[in-house]
Structure 1
Amino acid sequence: MQRFRGVLDGTVHLDGNALLVGSNSVGKSTVCEALDLVLGPERMFRRPVIDEYDFYAAHYHDAEGAAVDVRIGVVLTELSPQALRRFRSHLRRWSAQDRDFVTTAEVTAAEPTLATVAAVESTASADQTAAPEPALAAPDGGEWCLPLLFVGRFNAAEDDFEGATFFAHPVPVVDDLSGEAAVLGDGLRSFTRDDKRLCGFLYLRPNRTGSRALSFQRGSLLDTIVRLEAESGGQLWEQALRDVREVAIAGDDSAFAKVRSEVRARVERFLSLAGDQGAIDIRVSELTREHLREVLRLFLATQPGAHGVPFNRLSTGSLNLLVFALLTYIAELKGDNSVIFAMEEPEIALPPHAQRRLVDFVVKRMGQVIITSHSPYVIEKFDPDRIVVLSRDNAGALTSTQVVLPSDFKIKKYRDNRRQFAEAVLARAVLVAEGATELAVLLAVADVLDSGHGIVDYLHPDLAGVSIFDAGNDVSVPVFAPVFADMGKPVFGIHDTPDKPLEPALVAKTARFTKYTEIPYKGIELLLVTETPIAVQRRFAASAPARADYPTSIPALPASATDENVRAYVRLLLQARKGSNGGYAGLLIAECADASELPPTLRDFMLEVDAQLRAATAQPDAENV
């Protein structure tokens, strides 16, 4: 992509099914919209095709006042035999390993590389008519691919924006001696609406999940189905218009008949009408395709009851199931593995169980699935190598990276922690803790720091975008450092002193932490009773026996108990209700009135995490320094 919305320049690799993740406004929707501009059969019906804010920084002129282009290049691979035949004169060879076009002695050096697909120059070499037609079977050195290019610009002569999709290969020789402004596409051959339909791209925006998806407007699911059925069953819209034309609203037996005749009698005083009876009539539609698309409604009668109502009057849950049903219909019409399906944030309108079911279906039945989501229920359905993390700097450079687990990281560990991984992928940063007790304690410390008591300037992990990850034990904490660091995330680690020193391989992994702390205690309970002020522990000891989950085997603490008695009692309670079994450690921290009463080791660690994240946010982008 070049100069499209918030992206000045960027490349995204989508090798098969892909889950796009990243922070808000990083460019996930921009990628989907870019694909729709290149591949969407109905996208060109929008007027204007693009507008001012589709240009980077809304600049559609350069400093000299010349028009600049939005350029979006797409390379399609794994083409069907039908596509190979249809597009044979526009194919190139592609190396999946190098992620670029193959350049051999059989390929002229003047052909553009992937890096320049979105910047095709009019001075390129080969004449379009001179390009040899490739054989249907790919030769050695790569598979056949189809490079495409969308170009959009401001047309000063028309005072409007224009845009179209073209075959990016071969590049024709353009005579630029006339001095006239280059035409859109610089002589490239158009990639037509019928060409796009063969590619089978289907884009479901968030606002189409539900009401719009079930309308008959262009690009909706029902419109896609009607078009696919028309390919084999004839022109459905023409037949529909004929049927609607035959509907008599003001027939002789209708109460409208008198209205029609009275209106005609008065109109004829001033306007000469045709002589037949239908000179004035009442129709249910304007009898155009576009108006019919607007007024047609799908009616459904759901149990309990038998009365049909327009689909948009159904419950949200029913609408979501209808969307899912129509997707199955489209998959059957197009044939399995033949649709490129893009969908944004299914969690907006679908409950968790429906999200999981939708992802399972589209991954199984569609040729390629591209989904954006902030839902862990969606993310956990994708293996790491199918997760594409997008990032964009302040200079508008967009990059994509796939989640790659270290070679010594067992896939079982990922699958056992799939839900946690899903949340971590969405996070800005990850804090890896030893276990459930530590996780609860760190969140409780953050709550106290965020309370405002003690005048501490602190941003809670929930607001800072920090995911706290439960590693399960102390020796597993370092294991996750390279996993999250390779995702480009700040990663923090904390655990207690292990029973035996960490092995050298684990020690090496700790270097990948942004901040790493090994607390000088063998157990979080020992840290808490040692560093938490005794007054806090006494308040906790007084309130604990009133809890419904209090361990009855432990007698309540007498009022005359010494400080050592209090510490021993509190430690016994914390060990009896560890982790998810009641979580008394978090309750102890909740008794702290302000930051001064927090255990210093944990307080200082959480403050340092906050400080490092703030520093990273405040640091100017390297390209802008």
Structure 2
Amino acid sequence: MKLSHLKIANFRGVQSATLLLPTHTVLIGDNNTGKTTILEAIDLVLGPDRLNRTPPIDEHDFYQGKYAEASPTTASPVAIQLAVAAGATDGGTAVAAAGGALAGAAIPGVAVPAPAATINAYRIEIVATITELSEEQVARFGDYIEFWNTDLNTMTGGAVLAEVDAANKTPALRVTFHGWYDPEEDDFEAKTYFSRSLEEGGAPVFFSRKDKQICGFLYLRTIRTGSRALSLERGSLLDIILRLKDVRPQMWEDTIAAVASYSVASDPALGLTGVLESINTALKNYVPKEWGIEPHLKVSNLTRDHLRKTITAFIATGEGAHAAPFYRQGTGTINMLVLAMLTIIAEDKQNVIFAMEEPETAVPPYAQKRIVHEVRQLASQTIFTSHSPYVLEEFALEETVVLTRAGGSLRQATISLPDSIKPKRFRQEFRTRFCEGLLARRILVAEGASEADAFPVACRRLAELRPDVYSPLEALGICTVDAGGEKSIPDLAKLYRDLGKRTFAICDMQSPENWTLINAQVDLLLMHGEAGIEHLVLRNTTDAAMRRFVALIEWPPHLIQKYPIPADQAQAALDDYFKGTKAAWGIADFLAQCSEAEIPQWIRDACMALKKACTTAPAAIEELAAAVASAPAN
């Protein structure tokens, strides 16, 4: 089983999204891009226990919090859709049909209010297309089976038998979730339907909890899932495992009887029984015994539901015999415990879609890789989100889905390497050069290691000195990536720009040809006129700053021989020192101890230009570059 296609409308921060998912997927992108929203959307449409909440959705689940028109008589979105499916024009006619022709219709789960003059567009809609169905699933959902074209990634409409047997056609099932506000009940409603039943007219057919269990979607959320994994609460992982194995522990009556027979603090020496007896004596003076007598303390209120919430597993800690509740263990231990239980569920069902948020949480790198490997072996499809390079490198390029969101539009992109970046190099340098950029929203491509180290340090130092004027790159959401040379800047910038990220570049003086190539791929090019950032700094700082730094560092023996008293030749000595400490933070350490006036004006201007570029409209960025860069003369 595989979720091949997902469509989301008006859910959380996503106004619209259409996604194609490979068999194994890792969703990546900056925070607040929409990764969790995607998993929550899948849970709404396929999760067997998600709709049991009361209410299943709330105001904050709607895009921009808008869930109703101003008119209190707005027709139900589902009733409107049924009217449209029956042939009414989308608009006032649909509403009239929803309120008129469908008024009083006995449609389960659909409330049809009075006719209205306007349509309620604020409905959450999630459509999931499930392919690679098992024989059991095809047999159960036979009336609603359609066919998916694996070459075109679209549904095949009106396929004849010969076409159905083609190698590129596979049985598929579409399921639609609707969430809406019901003004008559003044509450939120949510239902899941077979999509075809909504399109073919007549009463919609619900996609039931049992149907969802047969599909098999498991969603691991570290905090929510782990907090009750080994309890007997309904919907907990232990409860799911017991139901899968058809185990119904008949322990409730015996447990209730045993607990009921135990009276708390019954020992007279404790003094509590005497107080309760006094209360009982006073009570008899006012009411007959039928009203209630003999108050005493019990362990619980003796209901099955209370016991389900109370009973929990204990786990021994360390080498001793002491045991503590499982939820009091370390975060990493809880995560691995939950994963172990989910693998039991996956092994029993053998045809599941497994979604997991950030498997790197509180576990070391080797465990992260082990988690991904094991889950991929167990599930028919896996969907991960992650910020860890150790997790991401377990997925092929075509399995890595890069998400970007502009306004309410969520889009996906796959990584396409330029000719100058070979797959082998991408893998070898993934942790050190590429991963951080893939996870960020904005990218600053630096010409070399010195720029990549020094410029972020300078911005951070300036922000410490003048926070009202400057910002550190991290606060702007900018990741700095070392291009490894000026010739690599254009291709590296293009790689990230094609993934929907905003790109900037910092470099020294370029040839007209390379300037043109770089400028075409970035929103803002920061180019100074020196041969290197070391020259830029030393020729535009103060003698006091250089002398102070000379006294702070430990000089290598070969430079001591060349400059017996470095302070007397500070600029020349530091020039040699910085050349020998490229990629070793030499120039960065110098800038970190400078005052604002000691940091070159060009760096200050570049820092301010980046801040403005991240806080102004893209159309105004070209004007910002004028103060810090210009095209080289031919």
Question: What range describes the TM-score normalised by the shorter chain of this pair?
Answer: 0.7 to 0.9
- The residue that corresponds to 1:569 in the other structure is 573
Tell me, in whole angstroms, the C-alpha distance in 2 between the residues paired with 1:198 and 1:10: 26
Tell me, in whole angstroms, the C-alpha distance in 1 between the residues paired with 2:162 and 2:221: 38
1:101 has 2:155 as partner: yes
User: Do 2:442 and 2:502's aligned partners in 1 also have CA atoms closer than 8 Å?
Assistant: yes
User: Do 1:21 and 1:28's aligned partners in 2 also have CA atoms closer than 8 Å?
Assistant: yes
User: Do 2:177 and 2:191's aligned partners in 1 also have CA atoms closer than 8 Å?
Assistant: yes
1:87 has 2:87 as partner: no
User: Do 1:541 and 1:570's aligned partners in 2 also have CA atoms closer than 8 Å?
Assistant: yes
1:94-243 correspondence runs (5 A) = 94-103=148-157, 106=160, 138-139=165-166, 141-171=168-198, 174=201, 187-208=203-224, 210-230=226-246, 234-236=247-249, 239-243=250-254
Tell me, in whole angstroms, the C-alpha distance in 1 between the residues paired with 2:517 and 2:63: 43
- The 1:174–1:143 alpha-carbon spacing in structure 2 relative to 1, beyond 3 Å, is closer
- The 1:408–1:75 alpha-carbon spacing in structure 2 relative to 1, beyond 3 Å, is farther
1:311-390 correspondence runs (5 A) = 311-335=326-350, 338-390=351-403
Deviates more, 1:478-487 or 1:523-532: 523-532
- Partner SS state of residue 303, structure 1: coil
- The residue that corresponds to 1:121 in the other structure is none
Structure 1, unaligned runs of 5 or more: 107-133, 176-186, 274-279, 621-625
- Partner SS state of residue 399, structure 1: strand
Tell me, in whole angstroms, the C-alpha distance in 1 between the residues paired with 2:136 and 2:455: 58
User: Do 1:41 and 1:193's aligned partners in 2 also have CA atoms closer than 8 Å?
Assistant: yes
AA aligned opposite 1:332: E
**For 1:554, which of 535, 541, 559 is the aligned residue?**
559
1:391 has 2:404 as partner: yes
Tell me, in whole angstroms, the C-alpha distance in 2 between the residues paired with 1:87 and 1:560: 82
**For 1:33, which of 34, 40, 45 is the aligned residue?**
40
- The residue that corresponds to 1:593 in the other structure is 595
Q: Which digits, 9 at most, give the CA deviation of each residue in 1:67-92, with x for residues without a partner?
A: 44322111111222221222122111
- Partner SS state of residue 188, structure 1: coil
Q: CA deviation at 1:222?
A: 2.0
User: Do 1:147 and 1:169's aligned partners in 2 also have CA atoms closer than 8 Å?
Assistant: yes
- The residue that corresponds to 1:406 in the other structure is 418
Tell me, in whole angstroms, the C-alpha distance in 2 between the residues paired with 1:346 and 1:162: 32
Q: CA deviation at 1:145?
A: 1.2
Q: CA deviation at 1:522?
A: 4.2
**For 2:52, which of 21, 45, 60 is the aligned residue?**
45
1:481 has 2:493 as partner: yes
- The 1:348–1:285 alpha-carbon spacing in structure 2 relative to 1, beyond 3 Å, is farther
1:252-291 correspondence runs (5 A) = 270-271=289-290, 286-288=302-304, 290-291=305-306
1:496-575 correspondence runs (5 A) = 496=508, 508=517, 511-517=520-526, 519-544=528-553, 547=554, 550-555=555-560, 557=563, 565-575=569-579
- The residue that corresponds to 2:315 in the other structure is 300
AA aligned opposite 2:402: V
User: Do 2:225 and 2:236's aligned partners in 1 also have CA atoms closer than 8 Å?
Assistant: no
Tell me, in whole angstroms, the C-alpha distance in 2 between the residues paired with 1:619 and 1:285: 67
User: Do 1:346 and 1:355's aligned partners in 2 also have CA atoms closer than 8 Å?
Assistant: yes
- The 1:304–1:147 alpha-carbon spacing in structure 2 relative to 1, beyond 3 Å, is same
Deviates more, 1:403-412 or 1:31-40: 403-412
Q: Which digits, 9 at most, give the CA deviation of each residue in 1:511-553, with x for residues without a partner?
A: 2122335554444434433343334223222332xx3xx3123
- The residue that corresponds to 2:454 in the other structure is 441
User: Do 1:84 and 1:136's aligned partners in 2 also have CA atoms closer than 8 Å?
Assistant: no
1:422-461 correspondence runs (5 A) = 422-453=435-466, 457-461=469-473
Tell me, in whole angstroms, the C-alpha distance in 2 between the residues paired with 1:541 and 1:272: 91
Q: CA deviation at 1:296?
A: 1.6
User: Do 2:440 and 2:478's aligned partners in 1 also have CA atoms closer than 8 Å?
Assistant: yes
